[in-house]
């Protein structure tokens, strides 16, 4: 073996020793509550497909029709070879859904973050992040070159103190372009499932003339009237500069989006590098996402949300004797906080032996010593499937 592989093997050993090693598990069926892994059927409690749309006939049908009409590939980036109709249809649907003037889609939510933040702010500016925001937002903020500040999770006093500092700094800035401050948060947090105090954030950012970007990755489709997310639900769509999200979770397809004013979208088309220098998403995925957005707003979407909350309630009340592990907030993400990485891995392995697929989430998505089993419910789960997870839990936990 050459020196390169030896070096990498040493690094992998170090990762293993910390209980942080990961490997891919091949699944031979579509994403749904039951998946086949190595010829065995597992109950799947790991997916962000909250409404069970990833394998829904309406999305499959939309994808097939798009392939027939527009082909398999997208050809190039949308600025180079022309921007296919399905992308425009999706963006119009998204803007209407989110109550914004316009929308722009990216290949992934990660790409939306990485393209947008560095387009908007640079060296002279400040980005203020909630301590628990997703890696895509952290990476994007770092890439922008702006000065970074982190406030304690959902802590308005901490945020205000940083805004005051930024304001002071702006007042002392040399003449030229006014330094900008961008606040970045999620509405529903991805690993804890709790909510940001959005109206208070909006008040604060207005008081200090800062900009606000919110990531609704885990809210779109499941919270707010007709699943429009928390920004729209709170009537704040016109007061949040940048609404971001993914089309890969409740929407059931793949891709990322930014919603905002026409000026924001025109600007991103000119300046967001992950949009400009990347091949457009394929027609099938885009058409599936548009079908997902439509379904979310329909009666069936409402019924699926009802079903989702019924399963969440079933699981949480079934675990009530283990209340210490449960978060206070209600979302489709139910983290059971274990702490130690190796212990979390052992629990996940024990569940796996009973054909229950629940991932052990470990650093870096969460802090070291904050490892957890992250149970996600979907509208597609049946009551007896949730009951199977509940039945296995006491015995598994006794192995702790
Ligand atoms: C999943 C996720 C993203 C990334 O979206 P993808 O479409 O999966 O790239 C961004 N932000 C948050 C909070 C997420 O949970």
Locate 17 and state its tokens: 């020793």
Question: How many Å apart are CA 395 and CA 27, to the nearest integer?
Answer: 27
Question: How many Å apart are CA 14 and CA 310, to the nearest integer?
Answer: 42
Q: What is the CA radius of gyration of the chain?
A: 22
The number of C-alpha atoms within 13 Å of 350 and in the hemisphere containing its C-beta is 17
Residues in contact with ligand 1 (CB, 6 Å cut-off): 108-110, 134, 136, 186, 190, 215, 217-218, 246, 248, 256
Is pLDDT of 400 > 80?
Answer: no
Q: What is the pLDDT of residues 58-115, one digit of tens each?
A: 999 999 999 999 999 999 999 998 899 999 999 999 999 999 999 999 999 999 999 9
Taking each helix axis as running N to C, give the angle between helix 135-144 and helix 109-120, from 0 to 180 degrees, rounded to the nearest 10. Answer: 30
Beta pairing, strands 102-106 & 40-44: unpaired
Average pLDDT over residues 128-148: 97
Q: Note the pLDDT of residue 176.
A: 75
Q: Whose CA is nearest to atom 7 of ligand 1?
A: 109
Q: Which residue has the tokens 């398999």?
A: 72
Q: Note the pLDDT of residue 165.
A: 96
- Whole-prediction pTM value? 0.94
Q: Which residue has the tokens 């002071």?
A: 168
Is pLDDT of 12 > 80?
Answer: yes
- Name the residue of 244, 248, 274, 376 whose CB sits within 8 Å of the most ligand 1 atoms, as the mutation to test its pocket: 248
- Name the residue of 109, 251, 254 whose CB sits within 8 Å of the most ligand 1 atoms, as the mutation to test its pocket: 109
- Name the residue of 31, 94, 105, 110 whose CB sits within 8 Å of the most ligand 1 atoms, as the mutation to test its pocket: 110
Question: How many Å apart are CA 168 and CA 172, to the nearest integer?
Answer: 7
Q: Whose CA is nearest to atom 4 of ligand 1?
A: 109
Q: Note the pLDDT of residue 380.
A: 97
Q: What is the pLDDT of residues 357-370, one digit of tens each?
A: 999 999 888 889 99
Q: Known catalytic residue: 398?
A: no
Instruction: Give Dmax (Cα) for the chain.
Output: 67
Long-range contacts of 92-99 (CB under 8 A, 24+ apart): 93/290, 93/293, 93/294, 94/257, 94/259, 94/293, 95/259, 97/228, 97/293, 97/296, 97/297, 98/228, 98/229, 98/231, 98/232, 98/237, 98/243, 98/259, 99/228, 99/232, 99/237, 99/238
Q: Note the pLDDT of residue 325.
A: 67
Q: Known catalytic residue: 32?
A: no
Average pLDDT over residues 305-311: 95
Q: What is the pLDDT of residues 30-57, one digit of tens each?
A: 999 999 999 999 999 999 999 999 999 9
For residue 143, CA distances in Å to 85, 116, 121, 135, 278 come to 32, 11, 10, 12, 17
Distance 267 CA to ligand 1 centre (A): 22
In contact, 359 and 348? CB cutoff 8 Å = yes
Beta pairing, strands 371-376 & 360-361: antiparallel
Q: Known catalytic residue: 147?
A: no
Is pLDDT of 323 > 70?
Answer: no
Average pLDDT over residues 161-180: 87
Q: What is the pLDDT of residues 214-230, one digit of tens each?
A: 999 999 999 988 999 99
């Amino acid at each position: 073996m050459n020196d390169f592989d030896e070096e990498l093997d040493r690094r992998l050993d170090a990762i293993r020793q910390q209980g942080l090693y990961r490997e891919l598990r091949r699944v031979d069926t579509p994403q749904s509550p039951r998946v086949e892994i190595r010829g065995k059927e597992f109950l799947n409690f790991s997916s962000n497909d909250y409404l069970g749309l990833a394998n829904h006939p309406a999305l499959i049908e939309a994808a097939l029709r798009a392939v027939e009409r527009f082909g398999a590939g997208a050809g190039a980036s949308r600025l180079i070879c022309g921007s296919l109709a399905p992308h425009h249809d999706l963006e119009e649907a998204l803007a209407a859904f989110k109550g914004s003037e316009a929308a722009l889609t990216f290949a992934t939510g990660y790409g939306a973050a990485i393209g947008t933040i560095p387009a908007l702010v640079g060296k002279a500016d400040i980005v203020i992040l909630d301590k628990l925001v997703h890696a895509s937002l952290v990476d994007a903020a770092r890439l922008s070159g702006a000065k970074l500040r982190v406030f304690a999770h959902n802590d308005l006093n901490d945020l205000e103190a940083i805004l005051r500092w930024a304001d002071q700094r702006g007042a002392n800035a040399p003449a030229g372009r006014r330094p900008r401050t961008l606040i970045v948060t999620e509405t529903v947090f991805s690993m804890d499932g709790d909510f940001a105090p959005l109206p208070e954030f909006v008040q604060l950012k207005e008081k200090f003339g800062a900009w606000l970007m919110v990531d609704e990755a885990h809210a779109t489709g499941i919270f707010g009237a007709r699943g429009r997310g928390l920004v729209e639900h709170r009537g704040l769509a016109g007061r949040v500069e940048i609404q971001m999200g993914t089309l890969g979770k409740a929407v059931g397809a793949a891709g990322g989006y930014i919603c905002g004013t026409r000026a924001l979208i025109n600007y991103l088309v000119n300046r967001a590098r992950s949009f400009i220098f990347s091949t457009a998403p394929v027609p099938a995925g885009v058409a599936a996402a548009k079908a997902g957005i439509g379904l979310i707003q329909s009666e069936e979407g409402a019924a699926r949300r009802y079903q989702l909350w019924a399963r969440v309630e079933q699981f949480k009340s079934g675990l009530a004797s283990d209340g210490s592990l449960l978060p206070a907030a209600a979302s489709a993400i139910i983290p059971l906080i274990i702490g130690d990485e190796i212990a979390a891995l052992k629990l996940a392995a024990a569940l796996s032996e009973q054909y229950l697929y629940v991932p052990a989430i470990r650093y870096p998505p969460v802090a070291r010593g904050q490892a957890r089993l992250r149970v996600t419910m979907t509208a597609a789960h049946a009551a007896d499937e949730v009951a199977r997870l509940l039945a296995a839990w006491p015995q598994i936990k006794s192995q702790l």
